[in-house]
């Protein structure tokens, strides 16, 4: 049997003795089953497990499939049914985030995406982390942490725990929260490697062995006093700023929210990834909740008191914003992923409210609001949509995986233009979310440039190639200044007319894992970060931290009026504040 050493991360080196025991199990990493190729290695290793009576169970972590196809999951399930021992699965990126179904096919076949079981006084816990949109960074969602906490309460006497993760510990931004849950326990953490591997793990006394190689002769103990994660809700603004800062209200929903808060008059709407809608009043009191029963990653919209939401299962729904009751729904043959845009269309001679939503495969759909009748659909790129669509002057602007930016008419779906940088050797793999001053589009690309594009013609007007900016860019309220971060931890201010840089500030904002957009108000700037801190850059370019919302990435800040703002993070924490 081909075995490869697999990385094991340990917490804190304090020895604790363990009663003598002998056990063994199989651990497969990233089997990457490919329906288009032979998978003899996987099949042969399953046979070896059946022929080895000492192996008590099998754990598979990482990518089960190479493409995330339903057929690959079905074939793996068929092969696993031949096992004489139990198996436990912890899916990888390809199975969930990169699959065309965004994990729906996996869920339909295997049902669960984490596991827990007890074997010979060792508690085995498979914990799935949620990948952020950019780079290889991840987050343990509140629901997953709550699940671990509840499960640990069911095994009060268990002290020895094996934790299986699909991301390295340093790549999980709130890993200390998991550490706190495990305080007082003997812990080993197994991390899935990127490469494929088939291992047998032997446990004897206090030692672990893989492929006849002794890993270590101790378990590691997390002390009871290791609660070193402090979730500061507020840090006072720096006194260098003359602006008066005041929190009006704050709310902690403690749930993973992949999209920003939707604000409508005196109400706010939040949808978590499990499809639960929260309606909050102007004082953050929950008016109603409604569970749509399906995963949602798209931001809803609201028109004349009608809330419109879309699920990855392809359901488009209209909801009464006062009560939360569903008005009507329609099934669409697509995994709906983009935020929902609103427009007005000429429908049989009458001006009618309509909504537009995009699917993972690149198709946009336009439906009337009142009866959810299809007006048009189009897929001009024939590839995945990878930016938030921007609606401006009856145009929808978006970037796709074909390396192009597209402009379509929001009333007809007709393609106006398709743009890509000239003299670019490599395919553009990603774009910032496009922004506009009503006459031009500004967008940064993975090659490290910012482009100014004519909204009507789709022609390049300006290229800003200084500083190698990343994918988080903003525009001043006057449209005269482009704000961007770069890979050297600088915040740069460019003239939008000439591309010249007039100010550069040193700011360590960490790794870019989302596409945050800086905003400007009265010559001051608000900068959201991926490590939970909101910064103020005043008109004198003094940098002050305003808020710390915890170890979770922030959504782009929203300006409600001249002095009121709303900020939220991926863990459902929301703060409404004033600056004046």
66-109 pLDDT, tens per residue?
999 999 999 999 999 999 999 999 999 999 988 889 999 999 99
Rg, the chain, Cα only: 26
- Establish if 280 belongs to a structural domain: no
Q: At CA 158, angle to CA 152 and CA 160, rounded to 5?
A: 105
Is 319 part of a structural domain of the chain? no
Give me the domain span that covers residue 125. Answer: 8-221
How many Cβ atoms sit within 10 Å of the Cβ of residue 500? Answer: 11
Question: Could you tell me if residue 249 is inside a domain?
Answer: no
Write the pLDDT tens digit of every residue in 497-506: 999 999 999 8
Question: Can you tell me the distance from the alpha carbon of 253 to that of 556, in angstroms, rounded to the nearest whole number?
Answer: 18
* Cα 167 from chain centroid (whole Å): 14
Beta pairing partners, 90: 61
Return the C-alpha torsion angle 352, 358, 364, 370, nearest 10. -20
- Can you give the pLDDT at residue 234? 39
**CA–CA dist 32, 259 (Å, integer):** 30
Rounded Cα distance between 77 and 60, Å, is 12
Q: What is the CATH number of the domain that holds 26?
A: 3.60.21.10
The pLDDT value recorded for residue 240 is 55
Classify residue 89: in a domain, yes or no. Answer: yes
Strands 276-280 and 326-331, bridge-based pairing: unpaired
Q: Does some domain include residue 193?
A: yes
Q: Profile the chain (580 residues) by mean pLDDT over runs of 10 residues.
A: 35 31 84 87 93 94 92 95 96 90 93 92 92 89 95 86 88 89 85 85 72 44 42 42 87 96 94 96 96 94 97 96 96 94 94 96 97 97 95 97 96 96 82 96 92 97 83 92 85 92 86 90 91 91 90 94 94 94
Q: Is the CA virtual torsion 146, 147, 149, 153 positive or negative?
A: positive
Predicted TM-score (pTM) of the model is 0.88
State how far the Cα of 489 lies from the Cα of 492, in Å rounded to an integer: 10
Would you state the structure tokens that stand for residue 124, as one six-digit string? Answer: 């085995």
Alpha-carbon torsion angle 291, 297, 299, 303, nearest 10: -50
Q: How far apart are CA 339 and CA 108, in angstroms?
A: 25
Secondary structure E strands in 166-322: 186-191, 197-204, 207-210, 213-216, 220-221, 245-252, 262-264, 267-271, 276-280, 286-291, 301-303, 306-310, 315-320
Residues linked to residue 576 through DSSP beta bridges, in sequence order: 249, 566
Query: Tell me, what's the pLDDT at 135?
Result: 78
Quick check: 486 and 467 in contact, CB under 8 A? Answer: yes
Answer yes or no: are the C-beta atoms of 305 and 322 closer than 8 Å.
yes
Strands 122-127 and 160-165: parallel
Q: Does residue 291 belong to any structural domain of this protein?
A: no
Beta-carbon neighbour count of residue 174 at 10 Å?
23
Residues 400, 381: Cα–Cα separation, whole Å: 7
| Rounded (to 5) percent helix, strand, coil in the chain | 10, 40, 50
User: If we measure between CA atoms, which residue out of 397, 480, 381 comes closest to residue 434?
Assistant: 397
- 381 in any annotated domain: no
**Total of domains in the chain:** 1
How many CB atoms are located within 10 Å of the residue 453 CB? 22
From first CA to last CA, the distance across the chain in angstroms is 68
Which tokens go with 359?
């699917």
Question: In 3-state terms, what secondary structure has residue 385?
Answer: strand
Residue 229 has a pLDDT of 37
Residue 579 to residue 526: CA distance in whole angstroms:
11
How far apart are alpha carbons 102 and 494 in whole angstroms?
Answer: 38
Using CA atoms, how far apart are residues 485 and 512, in angstroms rounded to an integer? 9
What pLDDT sits at residue 236?
A: 40
Instruction: Kindly state the greatest CA–CA separation across the chain.
Output: 81
Asked if residue 369 belongs to a domain, the reply is: no
HSE (side-chain half, CA atoms, 13 Å) at 504:
12
Neighbours of 474 (CB within 10 A): 22
């Amino acid at each position: 049997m081909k075995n490869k050493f697999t990385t094991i991360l340990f917490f804190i080196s304090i020895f604790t003795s363990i009663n003598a025991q002998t056990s063994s199990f199989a651990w497969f990493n990233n089997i990457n089953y490919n329906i288009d190729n032979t998978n003899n290695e996987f099949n042969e290793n399953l046979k070896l497990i059946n022929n080895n009576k000492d192996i008590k169970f099998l754990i598979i972590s990482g990518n089960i499939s190479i493409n995330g196809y339903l057929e690959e999951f079905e074939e793996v399930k068929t092969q696993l049914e031949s096992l004489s021992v139990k198996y436990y699965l912890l899916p990888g990126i390809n199975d969930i985030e990169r699959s065309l179904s965004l994990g729906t096919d996996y869920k339909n076949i295997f049902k669960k995406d984490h596991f827990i079981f007890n074997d010979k006084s060792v508690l085995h816990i498979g914990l799935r982390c949620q990948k952020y949109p950019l780079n290889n960074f991840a987050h343990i969602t509140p629901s997953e942490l709550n699940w671990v906490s509840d499960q640990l309460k069911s095994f009060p006497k268990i002290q020895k725990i094996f934790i299986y993760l699909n991301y390295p510990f340093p790549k999980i931004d709130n890993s200390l929260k998991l550490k706190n849950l495990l305080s007082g326990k003997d812990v080993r953490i197994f991390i899935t490697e990127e490469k494929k591997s088939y291992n047998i793990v032997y446990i004897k006394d206090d030692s672990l062995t893989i492929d006849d190689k002794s890993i270590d002769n101790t378990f590691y103990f997390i002390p009871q006093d290791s609660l070193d994660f402090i979730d500061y809700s507020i840090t006072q603004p720096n006194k260098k700023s003359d602006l008066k800062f005041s929190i009006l209200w704050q709310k902690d929903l403690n749930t993973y929210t992949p999209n920003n808060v939707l604000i409508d008059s005196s109400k706010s709407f939040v949808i978590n990834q499990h499809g639960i809608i929260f309606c909050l009043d102007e004082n953050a009191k929950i008016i109603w909740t409604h569970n749509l029963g399906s995963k949602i990653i798209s931001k809803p919209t609201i028109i004349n008191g009608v809330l419109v939401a879309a699920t990855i299962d392809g359901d488009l729904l209209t909801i009464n914003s006062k009560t939360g009751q569903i008005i009507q729904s329609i099934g669409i043959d697509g995994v709906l992923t983009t935020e929902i845009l609103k427009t007005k269309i000429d429908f049989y001679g009458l001006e009618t409210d309509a909504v537009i939503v995009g699917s993972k495969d690149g198709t946009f759909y336009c439906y009337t609001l009142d009866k959810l009748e299809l007006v048009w659909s189009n897929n001009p790129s024939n590839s995945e949509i990878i930016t938030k669509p921007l609606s401006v002057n009856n145009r929808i602007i978006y970037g796709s995986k074909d390396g192009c930016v597209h402009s379509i008419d929001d009333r007809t779906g007709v393609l106006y233009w398709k743009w890509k940088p000239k003299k670019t050797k490599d395919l553009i793999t990603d774009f910032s979310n496009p922004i506009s001053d009503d006459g031009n589009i500004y967008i940064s690309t993975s090659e490290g440039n910012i482009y100014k594009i004519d909204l009507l013609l789709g022609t390049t007007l300006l290229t800003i190639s200084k500083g190698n900016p990343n994918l988080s860019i903003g525009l001043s309220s006057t449209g005269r200044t482009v704000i961007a971060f770069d890979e050297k931890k600088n915040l740069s201010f460019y003239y939008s007319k000439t591309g010249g840089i007039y100010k550069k500030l040193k700011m360590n904002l960490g790794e870019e894992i989302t596409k945050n957009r800086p905003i400007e108000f009265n010559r001051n700037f608000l900068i959201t970060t991926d490590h939970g801190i909101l910064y103020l850059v005043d008109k004198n370019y003094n940098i002050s931290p305003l808020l710390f919302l915890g170890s979770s990435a922030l959504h782009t800040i929203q300006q409600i009026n001249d002095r009121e703002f709303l900020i939220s993070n991926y863990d459902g924490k929301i703060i409404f504040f004033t600056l004046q």
